[in-house]
């Protein structure tokens, strides 16, 4: 990626205004035409959102998007969409024991609504505030039940089963962090009180120690900063066995959306550690040692992203994708979503951009040079995403950010031209994270209260 040191946050002002105008149109388009009776919207086909029964992890992004739209614009119709649908449709996600995605579904809905109350942006009666708090307490505890112990700690296992650690889940851990922040614990057999923050920290440590590489020679493909989508453990003795991948090309290449989840989750975690009492997790690791490990992982993944992404910062779906060699010097050119060989995943850029900004903001007092580079990266990624060909301006297309994919190995993504890679479609997580990115930047640009998921916990 090529950085422009003269680009500033004020350069985004016009783009942000247009972004929110288009965003509101897309939310209304989905709300008036999509039937959730058959499941949540996942990605678009020919410009229309469709379901994909694999795991229900995107409905929170649908209604969370409306809440973010209200937050950014003050338009009450979107608050009503988000509020009413959270109340009427999100309850099953609170006790869904079959997914590792509580931090996506429930923090994006109940968490955002509670945050708006705590920030004073909406009024909430005592019962409503208590309702959101209870929902978030339950959600974090239910997610924490998906637990596999290892030789060095443990992790929240993926929907593949107890052997499987997904790099994605580092960001979904915020369900446990919020639940702990609200004073909750998980009670197990014989009334054992299980600390949610300790489980969250143990999972994050498992991710940075196994899912992220540091160039230390763990295997032949140990390149600093790359990530493996899935890590396999022996559940009989808790030992690490090998890397794997579900949505990437292989366990020995880097699925760029997984890399982005790591960057985003690390940035969010570093930001909030000062708001969590060290004694709540000190039997796992000291705060200084935790910060050291997370900072090393954040820098490694951020630098790998910068080195393995086209000049505009929008990545192809996997850095080891088998046909990239046919594309010439593609890292020294802008991304090409219409190429014949490998698809772009713009949703990875939406997720990573927020992470870069959060890491950069956190590093302001410790590493000024890296801080400026990472904030610059996030702003320029936003500028690329909020421009054509990535910003969806077609009034009939339900997606907001174009040229994302869901599952390249399974061949799920629509190909409007069979001679080219999949292009032209959107996904619910990409659109939601674009809105989170826009809200974060808008608040920074206007000098408003810093946007953080942990704001829902209050003072």
Burial string for 116-152 (b: 16+ CB within 10 Å, else e) reads bbbeeebebeeebbebbbebbbbbbbbbbebbbebee
Residue among 159, 258, 266, 143 at smallest CA distance from 208: 266
pLDDT in tens, 385-419: 999 999 999 999 999 999 999 999 999 999 999 99
Task: Spell out the domains of the chain, with CATH numbers in brackets.
Answer: 9-454 (1.50.10.10)
pLDDT value at position 456? Answer: 98
Residue among 68, 112, 80 at smallest CA distance from 437: 68
Distances from the Cα of 453 to the Cαs of 66, 136, 167, 304, in angstroms?
A: 16, 12, 20, 26
Model confidence, pTM: 0.98
Average pLDDT of every residue of the chain: 97
pLDDT value at position 53? Answer: 82
Q: Residue 366 — pLDDT band, cuts 50, 70, 90?
A: very high
Residue 343 has pLDDT above 80, yes or no: yes
pLDDT in tens, 69-111: 999 999 999 999 999 999 999 999 999 999 999 999 999 999 9
Rounded to whole angstroms, the Cα distance separating 435 from 431 reads 6
Evaluate whether 255 touches 227 at the Cβ level (below 8 Å).
yes
Name the residue with higher pLDDT: 37 or 177.
177
Burial string for 301-339 (b: 16+ CB within 10 Å, else e) reads bbebbbebbbebbbbbbbbbbeebeebeebbeeebbbeb
pLDDT value at position 391? Answer: 98
pLDDT value at position 312? Answer: 98
- For the chain, give the percent of residues with pLDDT over 70: 100
Span 158-173, mean pLDDT? 97
pLDDT value at position 261? Answer: 98
pLDDT value at position 404? Answer: 98
Residue 174 has pLDDT above 80, yes or no: yes
Residue 245 has pLDDT above 90, yes or no: yes
Residue 54 has pLDDT above 90, yes or no: no
pLDDT in tens, 105-130: 999 999 999 999 999 999 999 999 99
pLDDT value at position 459? Answer: 76
């Amino acid at each position: 990626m090529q950085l422009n040191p003269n680009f500033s946050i004020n350069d985004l002002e016009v783009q942000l205004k247009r972004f929110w105008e288009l965003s509101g149109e897309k939310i209304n388009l989905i709300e008036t035409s999509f039937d959730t009776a058959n499941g949540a919207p996942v990605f678009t086909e020919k410009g229309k959102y469709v379901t994909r029964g694999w795991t229900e992890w995107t409905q929170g992004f649908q209604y969370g998007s409306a809440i973010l739209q209200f937050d950014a614009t003050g338009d009450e119709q979107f608050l009503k969409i988000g509020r009413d649908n959270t109340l009427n449709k999100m309850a099953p996600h609170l006790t869904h024991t079959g997914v590792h995605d509580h931090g996506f579904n429930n923090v994006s809905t109940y968490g955002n609504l509670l945050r708006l109350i705590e920030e004073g942006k909406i009024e909430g009666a005592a019962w409503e505030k208590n309702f959101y708090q209870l929902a978030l307490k339950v959600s974090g505890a239910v997610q924490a039940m998906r637990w596999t112990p290892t030789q060095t700690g443990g992790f929240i296992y993926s929907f593949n089963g107890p052997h499987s650690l997904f790099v994605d889940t580092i960001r979904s851990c915020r369900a446990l962090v919020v639940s702990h922040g609200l004073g909750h614990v998980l009670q197990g057999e014989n009334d054992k009180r299980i600390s949610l923050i300790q489980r969250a920290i143990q999972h994050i440590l498992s991710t940075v120690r196994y899912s992220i590489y540091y160039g230390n020679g763990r295997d032949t493909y140990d390149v600093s900063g790359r990530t493996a989508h899935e890590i396999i453990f022996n559940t009989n003795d808790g030992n690490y066995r090998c890397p794997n991948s579900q949505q990437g090309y292989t366990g020995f290449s880097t699925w760029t959306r997984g890399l982005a989840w790591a960057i985003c989750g690390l940035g969010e975690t570093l930001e909030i550690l000062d708001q969590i009492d060290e004694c709540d997790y000190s039997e796992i690791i000291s705060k200084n040692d935790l910060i050291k490990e997370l900072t090393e992982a954040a820098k490694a993944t951020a630098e790998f992203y910068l080195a393995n992404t086209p000049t505009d910062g929008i990545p192809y779906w996997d850095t080891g994708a088998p046909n990239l060699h046919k594309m010439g010097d593609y890292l020294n050119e802008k991304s090409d979503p219409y190429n014949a060989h490998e698809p772009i995943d713009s949703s990875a850029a939406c997720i990573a951009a927020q992470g870069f900004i959060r890491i950069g903001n956190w590093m302001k007092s410790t590493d000024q040079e890296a801080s400026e580079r990472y904030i610059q990266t996030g702003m320029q990624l936003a500028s690329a995403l909020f421009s054509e060909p990535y910003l969806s301006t077609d009034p009939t297309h339900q997606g907001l950010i174009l040229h994302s994919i869901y599952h390249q190995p399974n061949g799920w993504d629509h190909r409007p031209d069979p001679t080219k890679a999949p292009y032209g479609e959107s996904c619910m997580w990409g659109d939601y994270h674009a809105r989170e990115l826009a809200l974060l930047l808008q608040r920074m640009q206007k000098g408003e209260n810093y946007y953080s998921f942990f704001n829902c916990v209050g003072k």
